[in-house]
Amino acid sequence: MAKYATGKHALAISDRSGLQFPYKEMVREWNGAFVHYTEYEPKQPQLEPKPISGDGIALRHVRTDRTEPEVTVRIVEDGFETYASGSRILNVTAPGHGLTNGTTYRFRGAPTTSPGTGTAYNPVTGVNGTSVFAYSDPQPFDGITGSKIAKAAGYAITTGLYVSGARVSSDYAVQNFFYFTVDTDTATNGGVKGGGYGCSVGPVTIEA
């Protein structure tokens, strides 16, 4: 193979300016032009644009949102009121309750703790000082016992107020009050409020 001279004494003519420069100071551009290094121009970036893909629209690792469980609704202090003497109808005050007319809900008293059953998930009180969360019954009043109000099966409610033998179904009444018929017990006097503090109403079964 032939050997090329180094050209340390040679001269070259620039393809850009037409001027004469030392051969050793010449460079070749991307387009093949032979120019002096002071005249060198790099390739315009817009001649080779980088491809741009579409924006990402989804994450790689996703999962659907969970279905939020129903929660209990707070009843105001002494929020139960007997309708009339000998009646089993109770009006309930729960501002902005959001409950559904005709749906069955369960009533609960104030949160408390109680002895467990001895199982792994429900330990006995006293073992390492543990006890389990529970709800007490509403306080009895006017001949109505708390255990009847807190019946495990719950009661179907009617939104609004029961007044003068009829349902009051104004927007305000429906949004803030409801009533139900308690099992067995009847009011002694009627028009008496009770149940105590910390009572609530919600789904028959509470999920974590």
Q: What is the pLDDT of residue 41?
A: 92
State the pLDDT confidence band at 126, using cuts at 50, 70 and 90. low
Q: In which region does residue 78 sit, left (phi positive, over 0), alpha (psi from -120 to 50) or beta (all else)?
A: left
Over range 34-54, report the average pLDDT: 89
Residue 179 and residue 127 share a domain = yes
Residue 93 and residue 34 share a domain = no
Residue 31 and residue 88 share a domain = no
Over range 41-49, report the average pLDDT: 89
Of 49-53, 129-133, 186-190, minimum mean pLDDT range: 129-133
Q: What is the pLDDT of residue 32?
A: 92
What pTM value is reported for the model?
0.65
Q: Residue 43: CB partners within 8 Å, gap ≥ 6? A: 29, 30, 31
Residue 176 and residue 77 share a domain = yes
Could you list the residue range(s) of the whole structural domain that residue 16 is in? 11-42
- Within its chain, how far is the Cα of 129 from the centroid? 34
Q: Convert the pLDDT of each residue in 166-195 to its tens digit.
A: 999 999 999 999 999 999 999 999 999 999
Residue 55 lies in a domain: no
Q: Answer yes or no: is pLDDT of 121 > 80.
A: no
Residue 116 and residue 183 share a domain = yes
Residue 184 and residue 114 share a domain = yes
